[in-house]
């Protein structure tokens, strides 16, 4: 992931008022569009707050990620990872991750096993990434979770590594999609 962010840095970097970092200005998508966003890491107190909001403990692999970045928006939002959202204003100078409470509490799909931890979504079709604590694997499910095992990875790290590598091949060196007809979701 670091390499993809560094590569995008070559076409611009922005830091928002709340400390989010935009990498790779993509004006072909909009005047304020960025290829990747990372968010300030969370400390232990913030993760404890998140545990309370979610009414469950955030799985250790995702806790580790949140201590590095509080969610991600990658490849112009093709893949986004949720985090702790504190600001719902519409100010352009504030950029926040999507809230982990939405898929895990407020808008949880009925078909989702109560133990699954939903942490990501694909913009193209709304499919979700989740961690199954029973086996520690990461999976992709369809939007309503009725097809829970479209893809699988042995870990969160493997998911991130593989998906960043795969999505990198969809874009040129300025953040433009090479083939807009080619889906940005993994093959089933």
Residues 41-59 pLDDT 10s? 999 999 999 999 999 999 9
Which residue segment(s) compose the domain that 84 sits in?
2-168
Is 163 in contact with 176 (CB distance < 8 Å)? no
- For residue 82, being part of any structural domain is answered with yes
- For residue 76, being part of any structural domain is answered with yes
Q: Phi, psi (5° rounding) for residue 97?
A: -70, 165
- For residue 72, being part of any structural domain is answered with yes
**Rounded (to 5) percent helix, strand, coil in the chain:** 25, 20, 55
- For residue 48, being part of any structural domain is answered with yes
> pLDDT band for position 39 (50/70/90)?
very high
- The count of domains in the chain is 1
What pTM, to 2 d.p., does this model score?
Answer: 0.96
- For residue 112, being part of any structural domain is answered with yes
> pLDDT band for position 6 (50/70/90)?
confident
CATH at residue 64? 3.40.1580.10
Residues 125-179 pLDDT 10s? 999 999 999 999 999 999 999 999 999 999 999 999 999 999 999 999 999 999 9
Instruction: Give the mean pLDDT of 87-93.
Output: 89
């Amino acid at each position: 992931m670091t390499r993809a962010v560094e590569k995008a840095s070559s076409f611009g970097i922005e830091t928002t008022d709340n400390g989010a970092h935009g990498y790779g200005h993509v004006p072909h998508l909009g005047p304020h569009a960025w290829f990747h966003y990372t968010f300030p890491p969370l400390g232990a107190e913030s993760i404890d707050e998140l545990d309370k909001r979610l009414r469950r403990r955030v799985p250790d692999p995702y806790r580790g990620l949140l201590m590095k970045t509080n969610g991600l928006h990658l490849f112009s939002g093709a893949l986004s990872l949720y985090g702790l959202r504190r600001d719902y204003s519409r100010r352009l100078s504030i950029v926040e991750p999507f809230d982990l409470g939405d898929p895990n509490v407020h808008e949880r799909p009925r078909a989702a096993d109560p133990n699954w931890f939903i942490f990501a979504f694909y913009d193209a079709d709304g499919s979700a990434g989740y961690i199954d604590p029973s086996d520690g694997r990461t999976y992709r499910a369809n939007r309503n979770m009725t097809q829970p095992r479209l893809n699988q990875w042995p870990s969160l790290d493997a998911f991130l590594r593989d998906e960043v590598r795969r999505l990198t091949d969809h874009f040129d060196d300025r953040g433009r999609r090479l083939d807009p007809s080619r889906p940005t979701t993994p093959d089933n």
